[in-house]
Amino acid sequence: MEDASPSRTALRVARLRALHQFSPQAALFRDPYALAILGEAAPNAGELSQEDEHGRRMRLFVTSRARLAEDWLAAAVRRGVRQVVVLGAGLDTFSLRNPYPDVTVFEVDHPATQAWKRQRIAEAGLAEPDGAAFVPVNFEHQSLAGELAAAGLKPDEPSFFIWLGVVPYLTREAIFATLGYIAGVAGSEVVFDYSEPAGNRDAAGRATLAFYAARVAAIGEPWISLFVPDELAKSLADLGFNDIEDLDSGDIAARFARSPSTKNNSGGHILRARRSI
């Protein structure tokens, strides 16, 4: 993305979450602010009839990862976690919907995208939530730890990190620097999604990768980092994460009863990693 412009992929993802509210699967992820925060850019119900298979799959992946992240967050809150960090928040509305009055939400994003979001909140007539802090950070050039501490994050207490739709766009160095920081406090946890390289995918997965990689590259936000699951799991363990759950597309569909789990590999994953000790 350009330094002075908000992320166009963030807008696309927000429109998928909003469109989902009209779908027969809306119960998977309900978001009462998804349409309002988009304003005139919000989709209408009629767009569902124009949705092709690529669009349907991406919409379900986007909403499934959000649902999983918030389900796993609920478990973390029950364990006593009271800090949530949304990395690369885009137009995500969790801070507006936060059901936990004693949980502080830190929204981290590129400065241009975050300024755009705050403008969208204001123009929608919504109030910025009291229990949230907006933290502008360029992931590739600024210290996440330093900026979060300055915003009030307690670095010696565990946090839950939601990092959706971001990892493929970052260098491996930036990714593992962030993961190393998260693993630095026992009890901290992260949820992120990633994609496998073409060589690891079935035919449908290779076609999906080619389609979406070309699409995001065309708007100047190319995918940079892809991962082999076993290699990623080892890297996470080396950082100190000892509780890892990695769901592929078949696992995700089975989790929400859209279909039985299959061995097909379309390449998309949602992963949860926690350092429990």
Q: What is the pLDDT along the chain (277 residues), one digit of tens a residue?
A: 455 567 889 999 999 999 999 999 999 999 999 999 999 999 999 999 999 988 998 999 999 999 999 999 999 999 999 999 999 999 999 999 999 999 999 999 999 999 999 999 999 999 999 999 999 998 667 889 999 999 999 999 999 999 999 999 999 998 999 999 999 999 999 999 999 998 888 888 888 889 889 989 998 889 999 999 999 999 999 999 999 999 998 899 889 876 555 555 567 899 999 999 8
Assess if residue 165 is contained within a domain.
Answer: yes
Assess if residue 134 is contained within a domain.
Answer: yes
Read off φ and ψ for residue 188, nearest 5 degrees: -75, 155
Q: Looking at residue 242, what is its pLDDT?
A: 97
Q: Looking at residue 260, what is its pLDDT?
A: 54
CATH of the domain at 189: 3.40.50.150
Residue with tokens 């986007």: 62
Q: Which of 91, 87, 90, 273 is nearest to 190 (CA)?
A: 273
Domain that holds residue 234: 8-274
Assess if residue 112 is contained within a domain.
Answer: yes
Assess if residue 213 is contained within a domain.
Answer: yes
Q: Looking at residue 13, what is its pLDDT?
A: 96
Q: Which of 106, 67, 79, 55 is nearest to 188 (CA)?
A: 79
Assess if residue 205 is contained within a domain.
Answer: yes
Assess if residue 94 is contained within a domain.
Answer: yes
Q: Looking at residue 34, what is its pLDDT?
A: 98
Q: Looking at residue 264, what is its pLDDT?
A: 57
Q: Looking at residue 139, what is its pLDDT?
A: 67
Q: Distance between CA 29 and CA 19 in Å, rounded? A: 11
Assess if residue 1 is contained within a domain.
Answer: no
The count of structural domains within the chain is 1
Q: Looking at residue 227, what is its pLDDT?
A: 97
Give the CA radius of gyration of the chain.
18
